[in-house]
Structure 1
Amino acid sequence: MANDFETGGDYVVSNGNIKGYTFDIPDYTDEILLLDQGEDHRKVIPKLIEKHKPQRDRMLMNHQRYKTDASGVPVFHRIFERDVTIDNRINNDYFSEIVDIKTGYFAGKTAAYAYDKQEQNFETVSERLKDFLERNRIADVNMETTKYCAIGGYSARLLYIDTMGKERMMYIPGHQAILLNEDGNIIETKYAVRYYGKEGNYVIHFYDGLKRYKYQQDGSKLKLLEENIHAFKLCPLFGYPNNEELMGDPEKVLGLIDAIDRTVSDVNSEIEAFRLAYLLFLGASVDQEQIDNMRKNGAISIPGMGGERIDARFLEKNLNDNAIENHLDRLHDNIYRFSGTPDLADEAFSGNQSGESLKFKLFGLETKAARFEQKFKAADTRMFEVMSTKWALENLAVNPYKIFAEFKRNFPQNLLNEADIQQKLKGLVSDQTRLGLASFVDDVEYELELMEQEKDAIDPLDLDEETEVLEGETDAIV
């Protein structure tokens, strides 16, 4: 993909060191109005790209940081105001851990999609929906969408028709997508731009509710390469926001992560500098030949200078290790606390913990995942709104608001407790509702079908034959 060779910009920098972070969401109102008035895309697109640049740079830097690339981790290009003999630079990869834990927790289990049984064409639509999701490897697309949302604040998804005439989807990293709507809602896009490649020479795709335009940038000029109808009645490129502010999950604690990197790097440099500690000779005169002999033999004879006590010692710097450890522990705890991420190395997660106990410890992560789930479902609804316009052309009526998605957390299972709950709820609620609560059931509709098949496979009981057997046993007793 294009993002593999793209590089981003910088955060707010002073003397080579990162001092702060900016998260302003660009205002594209003027450009949207121009597009509504029929302005030439080639005049509007460069303005959109220019406004999107700070956001793009931030997301690209975050992606480089996620990959622990030297260009994205601040400590790797740290600059001191004075020269230092030893300058070790150590990265503590909290950033990737925050992203990966949220991604695995939310999207680690395949989401289940189902169509309302009360709707017309239920069986036809269900089969078409199943084929669409399986063809596009929905589990992988959802996983990558979640990852890019956690890294940069939002991701995007593009619907298109492949060369075989099949409906396809692909995830688009947020730094490649400019999503336009008058109210700033990146889910219900009116226009959208995807651009990738090298700056000043981007390949640009522009989408509206009818067509896709492909341009090649050459400096300030855009050359139209293609203009095609995209087969949908709505803009097929739309966003998946991580939150309303379009912020990545680690971005609130970047300062804390950088502080740990600097502290650990400095302490490591100081410890290594001990090997280069200076040897002091008090009351003696030592030449280079004597020092060389000392290095060779491990001992030295020091001639006195007369009347003075002769002494030799190393000049070392004493480290207050307790203060350093307390400082690092406080930073460590605050990173997990303020990012809503559980510290899985903590003693609280060791031993045989019950499922309910773990849920309390994961409450911060669950709160964050629940908020993201609502955004994700809203974007999924938009996806089916767009898809339904394509299916309508084939005389297949699909109600996009009756396609339901169920997300289950990738959470340690307590099967004994769940089995007890299932048994107690049987007969009190519908089988669909009851099975939907089970973490071990990925697809409720499929499970219900299996249950029906098993029920049909049981031979029916012949009551007449059973009555004759009972009557025969009664006669024998008499």
Structure 2
Amino acid sequence: MKQKLISESKINDSNIIIDLINEHDTSHMIKGHNYYHNESEILNRKQYYYKDGFKTEDNTKSNHKIPHNWHKLLVDQKVSFLVGKPVVFQCNNTDKDDKSSKEYEERLNLILGEEWDDNLTELAKNSSNKGTEWLHIYINEEGKFKFLIIPAEEVIPIYDTSLQENLEAILRYYLVEVNGKDRIRVEWWTRDTVTFYIQNDSGEYVLDDTESTNPDSHYYYNDIGYGWGKVPFIEFPNNQERYSDLKYYKELADNYDLNVSDLANNLSEIQEIITILKGYEGTKLDEFYENLRYYKAIKVSGEGGVDKLELNIPIEAKKEHLDRLEENIFLFGQGVNLKTDVFGNAPSGVSLKFMYTLLDLKASVMERKFRKSIKRLLWFTTEYINIIDKKDYDSATIQVTFRKTMITNDRENVEIAKNSKGIISDETIVANHPWVEDVAEELNRLEKQATPIDLDNLGDE
């Protein structure tokens, strides 16, 4: 089949795709990814010396390159703190009976399942590294609802306004091999269709004739193609500016790597004693060392002699500087420095919350953005359920609850839970109990429990 130029499709010109791809800056995304995997700038450092007025690389000089993975530590702290426990979906629909709401919750959890919990962790990690990440919604050949993380480096969103409110289209591009050559393949997703393009030998983008239907529908049901009515891509931004966490402490981390590496270089190069010769009768330094080694003596003339010069590295100053850098990395990276001992051996709940204040502030920014993104996921999931089960569920009735993870004083939390009985709902108490991992499962166990456990007298016998 003869390939058609893009001008015959919804995109007016191949140059539009070329311009969009060329203007898509992914350097900060790649940098965040590299730093997470302990590939910081110190690994690229070279040593130089000046010869005849020119800067020349010195391959003989000590060049230790010691990276410290602060970025991974801080990102993993935030991810574990925010989504270490599964996000809870609860239906708060007063227009439906409890049985219908329960069925809706169970259907959502069945479709999303543990795969969603794992994907959410990856989304949080990748978004922290790159500033944003994308989730693609699709229905597979078996008719099952699925989702797939798409690297932000491959996605260019098209919004209807500069406010980035309504997503009108997505351009996704990635490398494929065609006849032994690397080519860029493009997917142009709109609210109802997807069109596939491939780069030809001239660098133009033409319709991909390997697709039997192009443009194609989003999904098929009973062999009929349909569109979602929305672009089936969901953005999970790290913050409003879509900045990587690395932006706020990169220079501090780089300076820490540099100082530790320089210290290692100094320790490798330094000699315990530098010998100063005065009036030595010999002509060669190797002769001097031979005499000193075998005869324990050397010949000097006149007022000659041998002095020694000891070099001292300012270790304490280095240590003080590194300690200050470490403190600032945790401060501006908004993490928890677990080395601190200011709270004692058995800190109270209040002091522990104070220690987590900065991390909570940072995680709360992501939580607000992710909550909106998860609500969009629930819209797609609910649309699927309504089609398959012929229901009329409303995703707006689902409450999304993040259960943040932190070191806590469990005794205090259990006491608070017991004292809250009758003041707030049992479901809220269970959701906040430190021993509960799966709220829905725990509530089911309570319903099936024939004889209630007397928590007040547990273990007294």
Matched, 1:92 2:68: yes
Contact kept in structure 2, 1:388 and 1:399, CA below 8 Å:
yes
Contact kept in structure 2, 1:186 and 1:240, CA below 8 Å:
no
Letter in 1 for 2:20: L
Letter in 2 for 1:326: E
State the Cα distance separating 1:363 from its structure 2 match.
0.2
Letter in 1 for 2:261: S
SS in 1 for 2:414: helix
Q: Which residue of 1 aligns with 2:37?
A: 67
Matched, 1:190 2:168: yes
Gaps of 5+ in 2: 1-5, 50-56, 220-227, 453-461
Q: Which moved more, 1:235-244 or 1:209-218?
A: 209-218
* 1:175-214 correspondence to structure 2 within 5 Å: 175-184=153-162, 188-197=166-175, 201-214=183-196
State the Cα distance separating 1:260 from its structure 2 match.
1.2
Q: Which residue of 2 aligns with 1:172?
A: 150
The structure richer in helix per residue is 1
State the Cα distance separating 1:129 from its structure 2 match.
0.8
Letter in 2 for 1:251: K
Q: Which residue of 1 aligns with 2:239?
A: 243
2:359 corresponds to which of 365, 373, 379:
365
1:290 corresponds to which of 287, 290, 294:
287
Matched, 1:265 2:261: yes
Q: Which residue of 1 aligns with 2:218?
A: 230
Contact kept in structure 2, 1:156 and 1:171, CA below 8 Å:
yes
Q: Which residue of 2 aligns with 1:129?
A: 108
Measure, in 2, the Cα distance between the counterparts of 1:439 and 1:185. Answer: 41
Q: Which residue of 2 aligns with 1:44?
A: 16
Letter in 2 for 1:230: H
Matched, 1:441 2:436: yes
Measure, in 2, the Cα distance between the counterparts of 1:112 and 1:333. Answer: 35
Letter in 2 for 1:293: E
Measure, in 2, the Cα distance between the counterparts of 1:246 and 1:279. Answer: 58
Measure, in 1, the Cα distance between the counterparts of 2:333 and 2:172. Answer: 30
1:220 corresponds to which of 193, 203, 211:
203
1:452 corresponds to which of 401, 426, 447:
447
Cα deviation code 1:265-305 (max 9, x no counterpart) = 1121111111497533222133255246268x476421112
Gaps of 5+ in 1: 1-33, 459-478
TM-score, structure 2 as length reference: 0.81
Matched, 1:325 2:319: yes
Measure, in 1, the Cα distance between the counterparts of 2:319 and 2:256. Answer: 11
Q: Which residue of 1 aligns with 2:368?
A: 374
Measure, in 1, the Cα distance between the counterparts of 2:217 and 2:307. Answer: 85
When residues 350 and 64 of structure 1 are mapped into structure 2, their CA distance, relative to the original with a 3 A threshold, is farther
* 1:416-431 correspondence to structure 2 within 5 Å: 416-431=411-426
When residues 299 and 393 of structure 1 are mapped into structure 2, their CA distance, relative to the original with a 3 A threshold, is farther
Give the share of equivalent positions with the same residue, in percent: 23
Measure, in 1, the Cα distance between the counterparts of 2:436 and 2:62. Answer: 56
State the Cα distance separating 1:186 from its structure 2 match.
6.0
State the Cα distance separating 1:202 from its structure 2 match.
2.5
SS in 1 for 2:229: coil
State the Cα distance separating 1:175 from its structure 2 match.
1.7
Cα deviation code 1:383-435 (max 9, x no counterpart) = 12233344444432221211222111121243321221122111122222333
SS in 1 for 2:23: helix
**Deviation above 4 Å: which 4+ runs of structure 1?**
184-188
Measure, in 1, the Cα distance between the counterparts of 2:155 and 2:344. Answer: 42
Number of residues paired by the alignment? 414
The structure richer in strand per residue is 2
Q: Which residue of 2 aligns with 1:356?
A: 350
State the Cα distance separating 1:354 from its structure 2 match.
2.5
Cα deviation code 1:226-266 (max 9, x no counterpart) = 33211322111120011001011121111111111111111
When residues 299 and 158 of structure 1 are mapped into structure 2, their CA distance, relative to the original with a 3 A threshold, is farther
SS in 2 for 1:310: strand
SS in 1 for 2:167: coil
Cα deviation code 1:348-383 (max 9, x no counterpart) = 466222232111011000111112111111000111
Matched, 1:104 2:103: no
State the Cα distance separating 1:198 from its structure 2 match.
7.5
TM-score, structure 1 as length reference: 0.79
